[in-house]
Amino acid sequence: MTASARLTAEGLTIGYDRRVISENLSVAIPDGSFTVIVGANASGKSTLLRALARLLTPVSGTVRLDGRPLGDYQPKELARVVGLLPQTSIAPDGSTVVDLVARGRYPHQGFLRQWSADDEAAVTQAMEATGTADLAERLVSELSGGQRQRVWIAMALAQQTPILLLDEPTTFLDIAHQIELMELLTDLNAQGRTLVAVLHDLNQAARYGSHLIAVKEGRIVSEGAPDDIVTAAMVEEVFGLRCVVTPDPVSGTPSVSALGRARAARS
Amino acid sequence: MTFPSLAPRALVVRRGRFSLRVRVRTVVVTAVIAAVTAMVAVLALSLGDLPLTPAQVLGALLGVDGGFTATVVREWRLPRVLAAVLFGAALGASGAVFQSLTRNPLASPDVIGLSAGSYVGGLGAIIVLGAGAGSVPVSAGAIVGGLAAAALVYALSYRRGIQGFRLIVVGIGVSAMLQALSTYLLLRAKVEVAMVAAVWGAGSLSAVGWAQFLPAAAFIVLAFAALSAFSGSLTRMELGDDAARALGVRVEGARLGLVVSAVALTAVVTAAAGPIAFVALAAPQIAHRLTRTAGIAILPSAAVGALVLVAADVVAQHAMPTPLPVGLVTVVVGGAYLVWLLIHETRRRA
């Protein structure tokens, strides 16, 4: 694949409190892809995402958007191109769905321009795309986990960025809501948004992602289309898990089954 | 213009490049509170050794009546009443900023030690420099003291970021230490100086005339202007630092600007009138319950603060057998509220 890439990183070394998490990482996020970053716990996958969103300043190396280092962008200017759904966000007491989604318009607003017709249209569209329009006047605190996550995604969509980063968007959801969310993300991707998500579930990553980045101990071990790179050898290297990889009966994408004991013998 | 489809309870105004969206309920509630505040202010102007009718008060204010009545209203009573309104608004806004930044209703400048810091700073100026309440050295001392206390509380409670409840517990501790320090300072001072300091320290508007009010008012207006520049960032920071950054907010810069403006508001009031407790604590929560805004809003909190302080001053001056410092009234009313809030918060966390 020789796709163009607006968001790239070169020679990234990232760390917290002088502890190095990743060293000399280079990635390019293909435009229009649904890129999924996978890896074991504490492998540095969220750290990589945070660096791409400029939440972390790399110790060395540069993240570039359209060839310009992220550090050269004004915060609002960057926020009009790259959006982020953080792992945890807080809904202020008493906020309704529309209150929250409307806050996503901040990078497009100014001191005089606080609620333009564009803001209105973007918020309406975002709520329709996520199926939250009917919830507009509900309090966020009254919603179920799945609904709430869709509202947060609506807020990120209202930001109208061509690139959207998502940090473990399915973590607190049950299996049905996880699938519902992945389907929603697939739709958004099909409409032309570039998505980058950190996911735990390798099968979902292989099924919904178009480009996979496998991270281990802060290094990129493997990168490419799921069909090409999800193999038993790769899974064993990245997760330390022995497994077999078979085609998923529904989607035909690689599906991982762990080796180990079968169910405990029944009497 | 309104858009029923998206936000039926909001009012949208658009003129050329200007556009604004406000919640109807917030506007109505804030306007009603402002109107009640104005009525209480007129009442405050009419009460005293020379009782006046509201008509006489308005006549004096508009310059229709001259003579003694005008002197009483405009020179004697007006600065005090305006001070109650403006200082109350300043305290309410200051409390709103801290409660919003920490997402905790207990985090107000009087609970987390910032008022105590301002008090020690002002006290130092009175005792060491012999300055009078409301003078420039006392104001400077109060601002420096408030900021130093803020920095101290921040540094002591910082551990990989700031967590609301830890900040409050540390703040209460710092507050107690600063109060001990101020007691020590008072004990070391000459009797006459200590008397001046004690009257100031009770929190009273009785010494506020035009000379004290005008500089404080100018400063408060400036601090409000600074706050309004950061209020958009504050609304986004309620979502969490990461979410705010992703929306293009300069989180560190905005937080510093907000803290400095809010400390300045408390400090200026403390310098002019001494520490007036609990307005900053209670006003934002009352406003939140009345307006039902998402999170804590600055303007309604300021309106409630103004009403609370001007009403408390009327009570302190006229409803008691002898006139009391207004700080005493707010302490008594607010103390009960603080106990309730502590119990409520502890249960919520349990």
Half-sphere exposure in the Cβ direction for B286 (13 Å, CA)? 24
The shortest CB-CB distance from A78 to any of B240, B248, B296 is to B248
A166 and B CB contact within 8 Å:
no
B146 and B208 Cβ atoms separated by less than 8 Å: no
Report chain B residues whose CB lies below 8 A from the CB of A109.
232
Distance CA B219, CA B226 (A): 11
Backbone φ, ψ for residue A26 (5° rounding): -130, 130
A152-191: pLDDT as tens digits: 999 999 999 999 999 999 988 889 989 999 999 999 999 9
Kindly state the DSSP code that residue B247 receives in the 8-state scheme: T
Q: Do A86 and B6 touch (CB under 8 A)?
A: no
Distance CA B266, CA A237 (A): 59
Q: Is the pLDDT of residue B113 over 50?
A: yes
Percent above pLDDT 90 for chain A: 72
Mutant choice from B242, B249, B286 vs A, greatest count of A C-beta within 10 A = B242
B250 and A CB contact within 8 Å:
yes
Question: How sure is the predictor about A233, in pLDDT bands with cuts at 50, 70 and 90?
Answer: very high
Q: Do B248 and A95 touch (CB under 8 A)?
A: no
User: What DSSP letter does each residue of A26-71 carry, written as one string?
Assistant: EEEE-TT-EEEEEESTTSSHHHHHHHHTTSS--SEEEEEETTEEGG
Q: Is the pLDDT of residue A264 over 80?
A: no
Higher pLDDT, B22 or A151: A151
Q: What is the mean pLDDT of residues B118-147?
A: 85
B273-285: pLDDT as tens digits: 888 988 999 999 9
Task: Give the pLDDT score at B244.
Answer: 94
User: What DSSP letter does each residue of B57-84 carry, written as one string?
Assistant: HHHHHHTSS-HHHHIIIIIIIHHHHHHH
Task: Give the pLDDT score at B349.
Answer: 62
Mutant choice from B245, B288, B296, B301 vs A, greatest count of A C-beta within 10 A = B245
Q: Do A92 and B103 touch (CB under 8 A)?
A: yes
Task: Give the pLDDT score at A111.
Answer: 80
Residue B4 vs residues A75, A119, B26, B267, B280: alpha-carbon distances, Å: 33, 15, 17, 44, 36
Q: Reduced to 3 states, what is the DSSP secondary structure of residue A23?
A: strand
Least confident of A51-55, B63-67, B323-327: B63-67
Task: Give the pLDDT score at A190.
Answer: 95
A160 and A122 Cβ atoms separated by less than 8 Å: yes
Contacts of residue B336, Cβ cutoff 8 Å, sequence gap at least 6: none
The shortest CB-CB distance from B295 to any of A50, A86, A93 is to A93
Report chain A residues whose CB lies below 8 A from the CB of B26.
none
B201-242: pLDDT as tens digits: 888 888 888 988 998 999 999 999 999 999 989 999 999 989
Task: Give the pLDDT score at B7.
Answer: 59
Q: What is the mean pLDDT of residues A190-195?
A: 94
Task: Give the pLDDT score at B63.
Answer: 80
Bridge partners (DSSP) of residue B340 are none
Q: Do A104 and B12 touch (CB under 8 A)?
A: no
A66-101: pLDDT as tens digits: 999 999 999 999 999 999 999 888 898 888 999 899
Alpha helices in B248-323 (DSSP H): 251-273, 279-291, 298-314
Question: How sure is the predictor about A265, in pLDDT bands with cuts at 50, 70 and 90?
Answer: low
Task: Give the pLDDT score at A1.
Answer: 45
pTM of structure = 0.89
H or E stretch covering A83: strand A82-85
Q: Do A90 and B239 touch (CB under 8 A)?
A: yes
Distance CA B200, CA B119 (A): 10
Percent above pLDDT 90 for chain B: 45
Q: Report the mean per-residue pLDDT for chain B.
A: 88
A12-54: pLDDT as tens digits: 998 877 778 888 899 999 999 999 999 998 888 999 999 999 9
CA angle B317/B323/B327 to nearest 5° reads 75
The sign of the torsion formed by the CA atoms of B165, B170, B173, B177 equals: negative
Task: Give the pLDDT score at B8.
Answer: 59
Q: Report the mean per-residue pLDDT for chain A.
A: 91
Q: Reduced to 3 states, what is the DSSP secondary structure of residue A108?
A: helix
Question: How sure is the predictor about A266, in pLDDT bands with cuts at 50, 70 and 90?
Answer: low
The sign of the torsion formed by the CA atoms of A58, A62, A65, A71 equals: positive
Q: Which of A137, A102, A100 is nearest to A116 (CA)?
A: A102
Q: Is the pLDDT of residue B25 over 50?
A: yes
Q: How many CB pairs under 8 A join A and B?
A: 112
Q: Do A94 and B295 touch (CB under 8 A)?
A: yes
For A165, the token pair is 């980063």
For B245, the token pair is 């950054």
Question: How sure is the predictor about B350, in pLDDT bands with cuts at 50, 70 and 90?
Answer: low
Q: Is the pLDDT of residue B313 over 50?
A: yes
For A36, the token pair is 């999924």
Q: What is the mean pLDDT of residues A55-68?
A: 93
B40-60: pLDDT as tens digits: 999 999 998 889 999 889 888
Task: Give the pLDDT score at B1.
Answer: 42
CA-based nearest distance B244→chain A, Å = 9
- Give me the count of residues in chain B: 350
Q: What is the mean pLDDT of residues B186-196?
A: 85
State the first-to-last Cα distance of chain B, in angstroms, to the nearest integer.
46
Distance CA A202, CA A252 (A): 14
Task: Give the pLDDT score at A251.
Answer: 92
What is this model's ipTM? 0.90
For B325, the token pair is 């410092």
Distance CA B287, CA A135 (A): 25
Contacts of residue A177, Cβ cutoff 8 Å, sequence gap at least 6: A145, A146, A149, A170
Q: Do A95 and B8 touch (CB under 8 A)?
A: no
Distance CA B338, CA A189 (A): 51
Task: Give the pLDDT score at B70.
Answer: 86
User: What DSSP letter does each residue of B30-60 carry, written as one string?
Assistant: HHHHHHHHHHHHHHHHH-SSS---HHHHHHH
Q: How many CB atoms lie within 10 A of CB A118?
A: 14
A101 and A126 Cβ atoms separated by less than 8 Å: yes
Using CA coordinates, name the residue in chain A closest to B241.
A89
Task: Give the pLDDT score at B287.
Answer: 94
Using CA coordinates, name the residue in chain B closest to A165.
B246
The shortest CB-CB distance from B21 to any of A86, A92, A114 is to A114
CA-based nearest distance A76→chain B, Å = 4
Distance CA B270, CA B263 (A): 10
Task: Give the pLDDT score at A5.
Answer: 93
A107 and B CB contact within 8 Å:
yes
Q: Are strands A7-16 and A60-65 parallel, antiparallel or unpaired?
A: antiparallel
Higher pLDDT, A185 or B62: A185
Task: Give the pLDDT score at B4.
Answer: 43
Task: Give the pLDDT score at B2.
Answer: 41
Residue A209, Cβ density class (10 Å: 0-12 exposed, 13-18 middle, ≥19 buried): buried
Higher pLDDT, B259 or B337: B259
CA-based nearest distance B152→chain A, Å = 22
Question: How sure is the predictor about B133, in pLDDT bands with cuts at 50, 70 and 90?
Answer: low
Distance, C-alpha B284 to centroid of its chain: 10
Higher pLDDT, B157 or A54: A54
Q: What is the mean pLDDT of residues B5-23?
A: 76
User: What DSSP letter does each residue of B187-243 carry, written as one string?
Assistant: HHS-HHHHHHHHHHHT--STT--HHHHHHHHHHHHHHHHHHHHHHHHHHHHTT-HHH
Kindly state the DSSP code that residue B332 receives in the 8-state scheme: H
